[in-house]
Chains A and B, each alone.
Chain A
Amino acid sequence: MFLQPRTLQEAVELFATHGGMLVAGGTDVFPALVERPPPATVIDLSRVADLKGIRFAADHTRIAGGTTWSEIIAADLPPAFDGLKAAAREVGSVQIQNRGTLAGNLCNASPAADGVPPLLALDAAVELASPSATRRLRLAEFILGNRRTALQPGEILSAVLIPREWDQARSAFLKLAGRRYLVISIVMVAATVAYGADGAVCAARIAVGSASEVACRLPALEQRLVGASSAIRLSSLVAPDDLAVLSPIDDVRASAVYRRTAVLELVGRAVDLAAGAVIDA
């Protein structure tokens, strides 16, 4: 059965009734089906109008879940989204960016999802729709583990919500990988840095991906950066202990030891890049 709802309401009702597999861009669904039989029931979300588009409310930016990475790249967004745009350009290839969606990236819950660190650094929340209700969860509370999320049966991730408070903050995203293009990261870092009127950092959010089961922020570092004057190179404030929250593993892409080393370096580069410092090319 291949169901193709046109509205979110229709989608959640069909999902509640039939269950089955949700597909949007298909970029994670189909690779998982190599050498596997197809599912009996599929709900295609690609025609759901409510899952498209970016809207600016007074206090938050709402990116509908079905927004593709190419649409993020092409959108006119505040500077705080530069890191998300940079990440979008690193998602797979152009072909993947043209199909893959934000919601799919988050619900797939890969520790190496390119979209998660920049969205954590934007303090994003997700909106989860079901026939009976719509609820919001902070992104950090939504992704629970490797391929595990807080989605309840019947729920669809309908939108990503980003507070507008720091729209004018500066942001950066760095992905380290074994090759250029179409590659799963070894580690990645997203940083958002806001400077106050006094020229000092008034807010900072740093998130690291592929170095723990779930991408996570570095609260100790974030707090330390607040108050730093623009004359200070932010990377000089990064300390190895800031990575205590990470738990990198050894895999075919790199060793755990290397991941720590690389994260430390990339965090420094990312905060400097976000701060607009002149970076040694």
Chain B
Amino acid sequence: MLDVQKGTSFELNGKPVRVVAPPFQRLSEVLRDELGLQGTKVGCDAGDCGACTVLIDGMAVCSCLTALGQVEGQSVVTVEGMEVATKSGRRLKESFLAHGAAQCGICTPGMLVASAALLDTTPDADEAAVMDAIGGVLCRCTGYRKIIAAILAVAEAPPAMLQPMAGAAVGARVPRLDGARKVDGSDVFGADEHPADALVARAIRSPHHRAGFQFGDIGSWVAAQPGVTRVFTAADVPGRNAFGVIPPFADQPVFAVAQARFKGEAVALVVGDAEAMAGLDLDDFPVIWDERPPLDTIDASLASDAELVHEGRAGNVLTRGRVQRGDIEAALAAADFIVEGEFETGFVAHVPIEPEAGFALRTGERITVAACTQAPHMDRDDVAGILGIAPEAVRILPTAVGGGFGAKLDLSIQPFIAIAAWHLRRPVRMVYSRPESMRSTTKRHPALIRARAGANRDGKLVGLDFSGDFNSGAYASWGPTVANRVPIHASGPYYLPHYRAQTRALHTHLVPAGAFRGFGVPQSTIAVEQLYDELADKVGLDRLEFRIANALRSDQPTVTGQVLGEGVGIHACFEALRAHWRRARADAAAFNAGGSDAHRRGVGLAGMWYGCGNTSLPNPSTIRVGVKRDGRLVLHQGAVDIGQGSNTVVTQIIADALGAPLAAFDLVGADTDLTPDCGKTSASRQTFVTGKAAQLAGERLRADILRLANAGRGARIDFAPGRLTVTEGEAVRTIDLATRPVDAHDYVFCTEATFDPPTSPLDADGQGDPYAIYGFGAHMAEVEVDLALGTVKVLKITAAHDVGRAINPTLIEGQIEGGAAQGLGLALMEEYVPGRTENLHDYLIPTVGDMPPVESILIEDASPAGPFGAKGIGEQALIPTAPAILNAIFDATGVRIRRVPATPDRVRAALQDSLYRAESYPSHERRAERSS
């Protein structure tokens, strides 16, 4: 028997340690909480994500599945000790940084440790061995390919990592500026830091989709739980018991009142000391549930006798969206060819590997909320409303964000910890469990889509009639945005003279659906790009050439009547795929001719466009930059880097605008006390909007310095400790910073610049200029289908994207590969079923073994509004992948999958149906189709 008092002794990163802690405690918790090694991350506590991987006696294990007492006398190596305790550790970290293998960085420690276990024993491991080694570590950002490349490259010479010269940062493959702390495990995520005396909060949540509830004797319950400080309910909300990302629709209570509207909705919060909270059985909490029949589908919510989820939202309709142009009925009536279809998608979970976490701290009449978030200023305003205090009294301190993808735009833990810390005047922290995160945070909207498209014999699209219902779940969240964005984008990047798109966001008693990379456009693209394939076949045109023939030109109006004029790179994207398309079609045909009846290969395409920034609404970003007396440049950058790379990209932009080297900058932020508002990290807007503000700020600061030096625009500025040197031809002027006056921020020079994209409101028919710029792209997927089993393997994705200007090609490729991975998940395996898939073994996201090589083709059709011509890429990257895969499945098999995900059982059922049909009605259509 282990003596708890004596503690557990083992070797940690090469040094002996002794820990006095419960021997059955998870090793992951002991490493993080007792030994201060927060590099080991916790994503699921169930062995499903691998983020907590450490080495025990050289073997990779999940530290969340290992009891402290089990490592007595053994050797444990964490990411912090890799350099000294593994042979390959140092080289792996360098390689990850150089290859862009770390994005948000939350899976990086697990990836590094798992690969060290491989390379220390097998330095010449091949790709298959690398996949086996990291198959148990989930990554949601990178799409895994850069991780594979980084691991394989360890055997090669170390890469040279040179910083670009001043003025040459834009376009350079700069390793991410915040990358070092991501690969050494020192980046601070939501769960990684909190005041030592912080209390711990856990929520009581509805176990039913819909239920009335009554509390029992909470006071007695608290008294009977040693270490529990207090319970909070709706009665304890100091301000407004409602929040929401769109203020006019804010309808979600922090704590439900009388009725819970979805399974996982919070009704109370228990706060106490850490040890007591860890051992607490919340099933004992005194609450009586009265389960009621829920509206759990779109159809149920629309039934004429359906109860209302919210009084005042008639028919359970949250909002409607509409865009109309031309005369769609007449156009389709006259069209030579018509196709139509009904498509369905389910809830999709974002699955950031970092569950929501943070702490709140009250100081006097102010409160600080340090948490992972994508939207610090929105959080500030909502927390202020909930506490009933001024926004200025709230400081939001975003931690590093271990993946967001839209899930961390809405509040999660923030109101809970803020309310508790406000009342108790003690710091309070909270970390969601994986099931809690899955149950309670927003999801991608399920969609039911009906669409009809028409084309003429000449191959020109004449119109699209689209209607979509989107299941927003119990609360508004981003439902109105989805309902608005989809009608604008449902056309795809094509010229459509006649168009009608109508949407509804609807309420059900299910988890709220919110923002997820693409705001509904991935769903509409799944429908429309499949219809366009069918239309191309009917017209008798090659599917790529049909798209090229209809691709939007810069002088043609979009479906909202906007003529973009410049920066319409969709033609170039499709044309860049032509050689790949022909090669892939020939490869597939050769494979299929090879006589395999069990497997068929196919190739599919899809195009996309996506407006960057808010839809017809202001969304300014403000950048502040200053020069300190020591000559350092300080960049106040309020855009939250959730792994996509804004810390790096925005710095590259301002560096070139100013003419300074990247190394001259110190980064401040994001922090609502220290950084001006850069808006939310969402809508593919940070490179574009914040980047543009940075460009303007850099130009302005440059002008200020040159003015003082009395130098012309072409002069060179050198930044040295304590002085600036301005050189113009023979003339050299030195500005001695130490003798210059400073402003309130301690800056010798300081400037701010704001950029708000020029847009115009949409009229009743949705006509207007909703976005200043659009990103364009097209994906091609090559797949192999096992006909007997219905399994689909994606062999390769080729992705062409018009990014305007590739500020950092490595980071853009990272976005594309990561977006493609999420698109692959959407197409083939991901569906969140409320109440059933609340963990990462029932809810599947792609692993390294599912991701094929991705070939990225970057098109640079500069948009004049963007910084150096740049556009967004975050959402663009995901949108075309799923429809390209579905089109490839059709190409391979002749069956259309109109309900995603295309799981093996659905594909197999569709194949079976088509077989029956083929037997009942002999037809040579399929064969004819294939030979075309």
Contacts and interface: CB of A to CB of B under 8 A. Distances in A.
- Decide if A and B are genuine partners: yes
Interface of A: 1-4, 23, 25-27, 29-31, 33-39, 42, 44, 46, 70, 89, 92-96, 98-99, 176, 178-184, 186, 252, 254-255, 257-258, 261-262, 265-266, 280-281
A26 B50 contact: no
B686 interface: no
Given A35-B436, A98-B60, A2 B136 contact: no
Contact of B435 (A25, A33, A35, A44): A35
B70 interface: yes
B67 A2 contact: yes
B45 A99 contact: no
Contacts of A96: 47, 62, 65, 136
A24 B45 CA distance: 17
Contact of B62 (A1, A44, A95, A281): A95
Contacts of B435: 34-35
A160 B347 CA distance: 43
Interface in B747-795: 788-791
B26 interface: yes
B interface, size bucket? 35 or more
A42 B70 CA distance: 11
B282 A179 contact: no
B434 A265 contact: no
B2 interface: yes
Interface in B135-155: 135-138
Contacts of A262: 789-790, 904, 908
Given A34-B435, A37-B281, A94-B136, A180 B67 contact: no
A27 B46 CA distance: 8
Contacts of B25: 38
A93 B136 contact: yes
A176 B793 CA distance: 13
B472 to A, nearest CB: 23
B66 interface: yes
Majority DSSP secondary structure for residues of A touching B: loop
A266 B788 CA distance: 9
A182 B134 CA distance: 10
A37 B50 CA distance: 22
Given A34-B433, A255-B905, A181 B47 contact: no
Contacts of B59: 70, 98
Interface in B1-40: 1-2, 4, 22-26
Interface in B908-922: 908-909, 912
B559 to A, nearest CB: 37
The 6 closest A-B pairs by CB, nearest first: A93-B136, A180-B849, A181-B135, A258-B905, A31-B46, A2-B23
Contacts of B841: 31, 182-184
B302 interface: no
Contacts of A36: 281
B909 A258 contact: yes
Interface string B56-70: 100111101111011
A73 B829 CA distance: 29
* A2, A3, A35, A98 — most chain B CB neighbours (10 Å): A2
B69 A30 contact: no
B673 interface: no
Contacts of B157: none
Interface in B105-153: 114, 117, 131-133, 135-138
B796 to A, nearest CB: 16
A39 B790 CA distance: 43
B460 to A, nearest CB: 41
Contacts of B61: 95, 98-99
30 contacts: A2-B2, A2-B4, A2-B23, A2-B67, A3-B1, A26-B65, A27-B62, A31-B46, A34-B434, A34-B435, A35-B435, A42-B23, A42-B24, A92-B47, A93-B47, A95-B61, A95-B62, A96-B136, A98-B56, A181-B847, A182-B135, A182-B847, A184-B841, A255-B905, A262-B908, A266-B789, A280-B596, A280-B597, A280-B598, A281-B596
